[in-house]
A and B are shown apart, each in its own frame.
Chain A
Amino acid sequence: MSDVLAEYADFLAGVLPGDYAERVDHYRHDDRLRTDFQVAQFEAGWLVPDWEPGLGGRSLAPGDALSVRIEGARRRVPRIHNVQGVGVVAPGLRRFGTPQQRDRLLRPVLRGDEWWALGMSEPGSGSDLASMRTQARREGADFVVTGAKIWTTQAHQSRWATLYARTDPDARRHAGISCLILDLHSPGVDIRPIPRAAESVDAFCEVFLDEVRIPAENLLGPLNEGWRVASESLEHERDMIWVGNWLEIEQAVDPLLRSGALDDEQLTALGRLLADSEAIRFTGLRSVFERMAGREAPEFLVLKAFGSETAQRATRFAMEAAGPAGLTDPQLIEDRIESLGATIYGGTSEIQRDIIGERVLGLPRNR
């Protein structure tokens, strides 16, 4: 084991309960532990290991940071609760924030003291995100925002949101959108949680904005370049997200590998899942290594659709293999329903196939 991983293992041994490995399914629901663990990771520089000390990191090389991520996934360390805060908002603040914004906001989001929501989708703009209509007009020292957002994960538990709104009403589509830092406690913000199909589905909300005033200094990144802020903010996690996917599939498959009662057809299906799972891991590693070598990695673009669809096949297989007895285990249906969301959020599988067709294969746009 490398020095870095040995050090990480020491850290984990120090902060996780002694029986963590044996009772990981129990601790999975321990919100207090999740909160404390995030703070501990931040303080010790293991939260975003490739970042500098003081920002939850220790300036590790990308390869070492990936090793730490894989090791954490392998040990099923407590999951970050407000995952978009650390994974998307923090990289955006670090990349585009003014010194004042960074000083005020980075530490609390990384520690999990302040949660963040992503204000992107709208009732009329889901897959067609660039058609968003929420307006922000300049009035003195403020932007005044009116509109509605939907599917906003954890908005009711969050203090802030990165709100994407039209700041140039005459510009078309992607142009003319800006990213504003919205204090969700502002007057005129109305947050309504949406009842979910299952407990395991992350809590999402409608957010109504009625003449909400946002100070102009809360603009994140350049005016009218919100589209770029969004895509570059998502980039930091891009190289890592398959690790979680691969882990979910391995976890779904693992008990079945140990079960003896599978017929030939089920064994074939299980082998196919093993292939999918390993293909996700090695395609993920290929793209990381290609990028480290300064090359493009188009194969990376298969991972969202392929990973989420494999996760769905894995939960389907787990339910089918369990038969009627599986209906006595609430976790199975929770996992199954949760996996259905994976082919929807973050760009549906249909949009992913458009992306593969157009960006990788060079086919013409269909719209």
Chain B
Amino acid sequence: MSAAAEERWSGSTLDSWRDLVLTDERRELAETVRRQFAGGFPLEAVRACFDGGSQPEGAWTAVSGAEYPSIGLPESAGGLGTLVDTAALLEAAGEVLVSAPLLATVMSLQTLARAGALPLEPARPAALAVADGPVAGRLVVLDGVLAERLTVVVPRERGVTVAQFDTADLGPAEEHRHVDPSRPVAVFDAGEVPPLSHADDPRPLDAVLAPARTALAADLTGTAAGALDRAVRHALDREQFGRKIGAFQAVKHRLADVYIAVERARSLTRAAAVALAGPSASSGTELSLLAKAAASEAAVDASRALVQVLGAMGMTFESDAHLFFRRAQQTAPFLGSAAACYRRAVAARRGVPA
């Protein structure tokens, strides 16, 4: 058995996984985030993005004012806590569909911190992109419309280059708000523009992206959990044939399957965060890929189930179902499809390049 496999199997490392369960402080952080955003920016604010064409005024200020993007950054950059705290934060934010570029900024900062030796500016909204080839080129960026900084990971023959751009240097971005206007997509062309800063990292692409993928997984897990919660509430409320529809096994079992998918995603996401934050970092790359794949599936499946359980209501503008579904569809494709992430995880386990 290889050393990595030995480590994975061994019960002797049990204690290093204690942070799989949230400490009281992390529970409190999650609760604060949920309360703050569900109160200040309820789903009506998300729905309003369809009319106003932009994210609600003040959402980023609230995120930035609470210094959420600093959570999980190194202390030297003014950060506090670890990636486990980041995951708890983002799961809570994903659950209430926070409509500010918190996830995008965290993914950018975490990737810069991972590569090291690059300036971190947690007060600025930012976003992350991965280049297709050796040149940055045209980049489709999640929640990039407000970004002042753009982090681009460029794969090299060996390792990657991580470059940070000032979006003001890149020229106006194309904006696409038709899938989820509360988390719009921006398209930048970084063609021949010189970056503000850049660093080479000899590690494989998936190792460099591991914290960002874990962050993305946490957000999607939260969105899945939020959709499940709404579906359950409707199943407890709606009556047909003289019974609550949640009493019917066809509905109950579908929701049980969604619950399984949510817990699968949650366990893998927490495990990835714990691994990357601690001494088991070697398994963190694989776990981050599995977590991202599982969370994408959970978010899409849960929000699809929400639409179905709501029936015709699920197809209306007023229902929350399409907000969750759009959020899941908008977010899931980034940093690799579920299928691609599964394949790359196999490669990581085998210790061969993907």
Contact = CB atoms under 8 A, between A and B. Distances in A.
Given A67-B14, A274-B346, A289-B18, A299 B248 contact: no
A363 B346 contact: no
B11 A353 contact: no
Contact of A1 (B9, B12, B259): B12
Contacts of A302: 259-260, 263-264
Interface in B232-269: 232, 235-236, 243-244, 246-249, 251-253, 255-257, 259-260, 263-268
Contact of B290 (A2, A271, A357, A358): A271
Interface stretch (A105-113, A230-238, A262-270, A312-320): A262-270
B343 A278 contact: no
B160 interface: no
A353 B256 contact: yes
Contacts of B9: 70, 74, 250
B221 to A, nearest CB: 12
Contacts of A142: none
Main secondary structure of the interface of B (DSSP, over half): helix
Contacts of A364: 236, 243-244, 246-247
A272 interface: yes
B14 A285 contact: yes
A199 interface: no
Most buried by A among B11, B20, B235, B256: B11
A68 interface: yes
A49 to B, nearest CB: 12
B270 A282 contact: yes
Interface residues of B, number: 50
Contacts, number: 161
A69 B12 CA distance: 11
A346 interface: no
B354 to A, nearest CB: 10
Main secondary structure of the interface of A (DSSP, over half): helix
B203 to A, nearest CB: 20
Interface string B98-118: 000000000000000000000
B17 interface: yes
Nearest to B291: A275
B49 interface: no
B349 A274 contact: yes
B313 interface: no
B44 to A, nearest CB: 26
B73 interface: no
B20 A282 contact: yes
A283 interface: yes
B246 A275 contact: no
Nearest to B5: A254
B271 interface: yes
Interface string A65-83: 0111111001000000000
Contacts of B21: 286, 289-290, 293, 295
A271 B247 contact: no
Contact of A67 (B11, B255, B266): B11
A275 B247 contact: no
A356 B257 CA distance: 9
B10 interface: yes
A114 interface: no
A271 B17 contact: no
Nearest to A305: B260
A267 B344 CA distance: 9
A50 interface: no
A360 interface: yes
B341 interface: yes
A250 B18 CA distance: 22
Nearest to B294: A275
Nearest to A69: B11
Given A63-B15, A257-B349, A275-B342, A361 B256 contact: yes
Interface in B301-354: 339, 341-346, 349-350
A278 B252 contact: no
Given A289-B20, A357-B255, A363-B246, A5 B12 contact: yes
B247 to A, nearest CB: 4
A271 B342 contact: yes
B92 interface: no
B293 interface: yes
Contacts of B255: 357, 361, 363
B11 A360 contact: no
Contact of B345 (A66, A258, A269, A274): A274
A271 B346 contact: yes
A271 B350 CA distance: 11
B286 to A, nearest CB: 8
Contact of B257 (A250, A285, A289, A353): A353
B263 A357 contact: no
B287 interface: yes
Contacts of B243: 364
A115 to B, nearest CB: 28
A26 interface: no
Contact of B341 (A70, A271, A358, A366): A271
Nearest to A367: B247
Contacts of B15: 63
B86 to A, nearest CB: 18
- State the 6 A-B residue pairs at the shortest beta-carbon distance, nearest first: A271-B342, A70-B11, A363-B246, A357-B252, A67-B11, A282-B267
22 contacts: A67-B11, A70-B9, A70-B11, A257-B346, A257-B349, A271-B293, A271-B343, A274-B290, A274-B342, A278-B268, A282-B20, A282-B271, A285-B14, A285-B20, A299-B263, A350-B249, A353-B252, A353-B256, A361-B246, A361-B252, A363-B232, A363-B255
Given A272-B293, A278-B268, A306-B264, 17 more contacts: A5-B10, A63-B15, A70-B14, A71-B12, A267-B346, A271-B346, A276-B264, A279-B264, A289-B20, A289-B21, A302-B263, A353-B252, A354-B256, A357-B255, A361-B256, A363-B232, A363-B255
Interface of B: 9-12, 14-15, 17-18, 20-21, 232, 235-236, 243-244, 246-249, 251-253, 255-257, 259-260, 263-268, 270-271, 286-287, 289-290, 293-294, 339, 341-346, 349-350
